[in-house]
């Protein structure tokens, strides 16, 4: 029984699992706004190379760059 109480191998694995879960949650929460911003910037760059200017968010439905 004492040996079982002192065994730390399982605790370390659980700590790593919790750390990975926390990182996954942070990524799930943080990535959608970042990808939206990146996509918007890429569209603005593409349209800018064509000589067009996007007045508002180019990813919004119905928005056109002139």
Kindly list the distances between the CA atom of residue 18 and the CA atoms of 10, 11, 21, 28, 30, in Å, as whole numbers in the listed order: 12, 10, 5, 15, 18
Residue 24 pLDDT greater than 90, yes or no: yes
Residues 11 and 29: their CA atoms lie apart, in Å, by 27
Count Cα atoms within 13 angstroms, Cβ side, for 32. 3
pTM: 0.53
Q: How many whole angstroms separate alpha carbon 23 and alpha carbon 42?
A: 27
pLDDT interval class at 7 (50, 70, 90): low
pLDDT above 70 coverage of the chain, percent? 80
User: Does position 4 have pLDDT exceeding 60, yes or no?
Assistant: no
31: tokens are: 């990535």
């Amino acid at each position: 029984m004492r040996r079982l109480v002192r065994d730390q191998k399982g605790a370390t694995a659980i700590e790593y699992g919790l750390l990975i879960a926390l990182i996954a949650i942070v990524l799930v929460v943080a990535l959608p706004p970042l990808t939206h911003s990146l996509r918007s910037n890429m569209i603005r760059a593409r349209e800018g190379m064509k000589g067009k200017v996007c007045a508002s968010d180019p990813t919004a439905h119905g928005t056109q760059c002139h």
